[in-house]
Amino acid sequence: MTTATAAAAPAKPRRAKPLAALGLAPFGVYVFLFLALPTVLAVGTGLFDRSGNFTLANLAALGDPVILATFGKSVWLSALTAAVGALVGAAVCYALLGVPATHPVRTLIDALSGVLAQFGGVMLAFMFMATIGRGSFLVAWLKDLGFDVYAGGMWLYDMPGLVLAYIFFQIPLMVITFSPALGGLKPQWAEANLTLGGTRRTFWAKIGVPVLAPSFAASYLLLFANSFSAYATAAALASQGSQIVPLAIRAALTSETVLGRENLAGALALGMIVVMAAVMAVYSRIQRRADRWRL
């Protein structure tokens, strides 16, 4: 082989060093401990009894009207808070559309969104109870003015309170997930629209909305999944009752004979896994369609 031929020949790809695969080891351990293992445990406790015998009695409990109502409340809570979070978050993203990324206002909102999207659990519940709880200073002050916040009942510790708390972290999460889609609108599209005699309304009706619709739907599904799987905020805020599925799982774990069936918690968790898998499958399909416009 001549020198020229050797130079023109493509270089053989180097074999990846075995040690390079160790970089994925922490992620693999994380996926195993917090995704694969809980799934296996949910299936195991949901489809088997204490003796290790296969049974469908636990799954039969999912058809109980009480359990179905609990799933219905979880779906309603997730759909409502995801819708409010998606609409308000999209409006915030639209308001920031013309603000440069280095502008102090944009930097502040991005920073707040990143923090508040993860501000949940006991901290969020305590914040709401300290601010607008039954014994808070604000509620007492409003009552002195003649406005009783809790005239209709203890709504903060029931479903209305969960809606308010969930919306608090759904809006910033929408800002984080939807901002890249709005930022991906190419200036050339607006210029082409103006060149062809279009208006601002025409641009959003014919270009902007159709392009952003898949990203908006994907973000909505992400918010739905985030709300449907949330537990800590609901457990700290609504300490009594089992209004949603995560709280029903807690009740089943503390009382092993709920509805007269053992291992109901595993069956409930398996039901949640099925719902989440369906939502994530639709999300993945929509996300692939949204990514076409980012190429």
pLDDT digits (tens, 9 = 90+) for 141-172: 888 888 888 877 788 888 888 999 999 999 99
pLDDT value for 187: 82
DSSP for 64-89, written as a single string: SHHHHHHHHHHHHHHHHHHHHHHHHH
Domains and CATH numbers, the chain: 26-125+157-294 (1.10.3720.10)
For residue range 43-54, what is the model confidence (pLDDT) as tens digits? 777 777 666 677
Q: How confident is the model at residue 239 (pLDDT cuts 50, 70, 90)?
A: low
Name which of 156, 179, 180 is nearest 168 in CA terms. 156
For residue range 184-194, what is the model confidence (pLDDT) as tens digits? 888 888 888 88
For residue range 5-29, what is the model confidence (pLDDT) as tens digits? 545 555 555 555 666 677 778 888 8
Distance of alpha carbon 30 from alpha carbon 32, whole angstroms: 5
Residue keyed to tokens 């305590």? 126
Say if pTM beats, i.e. exceeds, 0.85.
Answer: no
Is it the case that residue 241 has pLDDT exceeding 90? no
Q: Using alpha carbons only, how large is the chain's radius of gyration in Å?
A: 25
Average pLDDT over residues 62-90: 92
Calculate the dihedral angle through the C-alpha atoms of 164, 117, 174, 276, rounding to the nearest 10 degrees. Answer: -80
Name which of 166, 174, 184, 186 is nearest 218 in CA terms. 174
Highest mean pLDDT among 91-95, 239-243, 247-251, 254-258: 91-95
pLDDT value for 165: 92
Tokens standing for 212?
A: 């952003």
pLDDT value for 237: 87
Average pLDDT over residues 70-79: 93
pLDDT value for 32: 87
SS3 of 114-144: the string is: HHHCCCCCHHHHHHHHHHHCCCCHHHHHHHH
Distance of alpha carbon 241 from alpha carbon 245, whole angstroms: 11
Distance of alpha carbon 213 from alpha carbon 199, whole angstroms: 20
**3-class DSSP state of 56:** coil
Both ends of the chain: CA-CA distance in Å?
41
Query: Regarding predicted confidence, which is higher, 5 or 292?
Result: 292
Highest mean pLDDT among 58-67, 106-115, 150-159: 106-115
